[in-house]
Amino acid sequence: MPSPAPDQNTPDPDTAQPANGDGQTRSIFSDRNFLLFLAGQCITTQGLWIQKIAMSWLAWSLTGSAFWTGAIAALNFAPAFFLGPIFGVMADRVDLRRTAMAINLGQAGVSFLLMGLSFAGMMTLPWMVVLAGAMGVLGSAMTPVRLSLVPVIVPREFMSRAVAYAAMNFNISRLVGPAVGGVVIATWGTGAAFMINALTYLPMIFVISIVTLHMERAPDAKSRRIWTSLVDGARYAMSHSMIRSVLALSCFVSLVGTGMVELMPVFAEAVYERGVTGLGMLASAAGIGAVTSTFILSRMTSDAMAYQRVTIIGAFTASVGMVGLGFAPWYELAVVLVAIAGGGLTLVGVGSQTALQLTVDNRLRGRVMSFWSAASFGGMALGGTLLGAISEAGDIQYTARGSGILILCAACVGLWRLYRIGALPRRTALR
């Protein structure tokens, strides 16, 4: 006998929000854990973007080279490609609270060292290479830990909203931080920017120390060897069609798209002659696009397939912005096009992250999310270096055009795949 059709008014257990004691729908902002985490992240990410703009500008100022500007930016992300999966295995084994606090302390220490060298006038290219690499290693260790923290801080029903709002917070910082960083650097120098970033890690350490974590561990999480655990995670990711395709798109778009964004100092100075304040404006424009995209993502239901479709839309959007940037004759037009590209790249990045969070087995979450960070940040690192080298030999605007065309090709392949599996509805479900 066929089972009865589900009641149209019955909420989906994977998408419905939990109710309070009166049976009313509860908002994610009523969750103390999430509010604490969001507040701590808000402060820390402001400093992160201030330091990022300082590192990019300092690299360009010291060398005047698009290659070295891209290489220094790459060192902040390259370790994620090589070490991210190992750190992902560790994230499935370690005490998340203590590990997150230790990594944040390490990042604060490196920022204080950058501050001291800058104020003393002793900053050199070798020092930048070493310290950017150190921040990259710590960042690659923190990424799977941070991504594993979100699911244990909020209920599953809030998962997609939590990821989207955390991303929105990150991208609001991306909007404000570079603009503030540009003013700080122009007024007090790069040392002040590094000092601000070092101080912003302290509130996050406090938040992590008091937030409540609800963690479920695999029974054999500590009994299996690291290599065996890593192979298990890779086998799981590659055997799952959605996870495999999302990781591939994230890697490619990061390689040829986000890597291009790392070269904004070259656009600001060499193409448009606007200096550090112009760089801050371009970076903030990318942040405006990113915030807009994350707001759209925050209104979506907890449907992994819907987020996968959004990544394709994001790739098409990013390709438009990137190709346009390659032809833009005026700085003001470039600002608009960078905002479009930033919005599209964010749809790909956050959409893919959310799709994975909603799909992956909790016992393998750290490993699979480390593959995502390796694909995204590793692609960004390699892309920044390669595109910087290409731009060094030619016109950076030609490089931007080529990047946009390649992203368009990737979007077409992704669209064709969704068509093949029948995953193209007439409209995307929004709340």
Per-residue DSSP letters for 150-186? HHHHS-GGGHHHHHHHHHHHHHHHHHHHHHHHHHHHH
Tell me, what's the pLDDT at 424? 60
Q: Give the integer Cα–Cα distance in Å for 45 and 50.
A: 9
Q: Give the integer Cα–Cα distance in Å for 71 and 382.
A: 8
Does pTM surpass 0.85? Answer: no
Q: Is it the case that residue 17 has pLDDT exceeding 50?
A: no
Q: Give the integer Cα–Cα distance in Å for 228 and 232.
A: 6
Q: Give the integer Cα–Cα distance in Å for 382 and 368.
A: 20
- pLDDT digit string, tens, across residues 303-331: 788 888 889 999 999 999 999 988 988 88
Average pLDDT of the chain is 79
Dihedral over Cα of 309, 310, 311, 314: its sign: positive
Tell me, what's the pLDDT at 116? 94
CB-based burial, 88-97: b 16+ in 10 Å, e otherwise: bbbbbbbebb
Beta carbons within 8 Å of 35's beta carbon, 6+ residues apart? 29
pLDDT: which is higher, 67 or 8: 67
Tell me, what's the pLDDT at 193? 92
Of the ranges 219-223, 264-268, 290-294, 404-408, which one carries the lowest mean pLDDT score? 219-223
- DSSP line for 350-413: HHHHHHHHHHS-GGGHHHHHHHHHHHHHHHHHHHHHHHHHHHHHS-HHHHHHHHHHHHHHHHHH
Neighbours of 46 (CB within 10 A): 22
- pLDDT digit string, tens, across residues 41-74: 888 888 888 888 888 888 888 888 877 877 787 7
Q: Give the integer Cα–Cα distance in Å for 406 and 412.
A: 10
Residue 254 DSSP symbol: I
Tell me, what's the pLDDT at 217? 39
Beta carbons within 8 Å of 211's beta carbon, 6+ residues apart? 33, 36, 37, 153
Phi and psi, residue 213, nearest 5° = -110, 135
Smallest CA-to-CA distance from 170 within 20, 334, 41 is with 41
pLDDT: which is higher, 127 or 158: 127
Q: Is it the case that residue 142 has pLDDT exceeding 60?
A: yes
CB 311 within 8 A of CB 351: yes
For residue 142 the two structure tokens come to: 């923190």
| Residue 212 C-alpha from the chain's centroid | 24
CB 85 within 8 A of CB 367: yes
Q: Is it the case that residue 205 has pLDDT exceeding 90?
A: yes
What radius of gyration do the chain's Cα atoms show? 21
CB 38 within 8 A of CB 169: yes
Sorted by where each begins, the domain ranges of the chain are: 28-214+225-420
Of the ranges 79-88, 105-114, 402-411, which one carries the lowest mean pLDDT score? 79-88
CATH class of 28-214+225-420: mainly alpha
Give me the mean pLDDT over the 274-302 stretch: 79
Give me the mean pLDDT over the 272-282 stretch: 78
Tell me, what's the pLDDT at 430? 42
- pLDDT digit string, tens, across residues 175-202: 677 778 888 888 898 899 999 999 999 9
Helix (H, G, I), strand (E, B) or coil at 102: helix
Tell me, what's the pLDDT at 405? 93
Tell me, what's the pLDDT at 216? 54
For residue 298 the two structure tokens come to: 């925050």
Tell me, what's the pLDDT at 333? 92
Percent of residues, the chain, with pLDDT higher than 70: 86
Tokens 């990594």 belong to which residue?
A: 103
- pLDDT digit string, tens, across residues 405-416: 999 999 998 888
219 pLDDT tier (thresholds 50, 70, 90): very low
Q: Is it the case that residue 300 has pLDDT exceeding 60?
A: yes
Identity at 183, one-letter amino acid code: V
Of the ranges 55-69, 221-235, 374-388, which one carries the lowest mean pLDDT score? 221-235
Smallest CA-to-CA distance from 392 within 128, 64, 166 is with 64
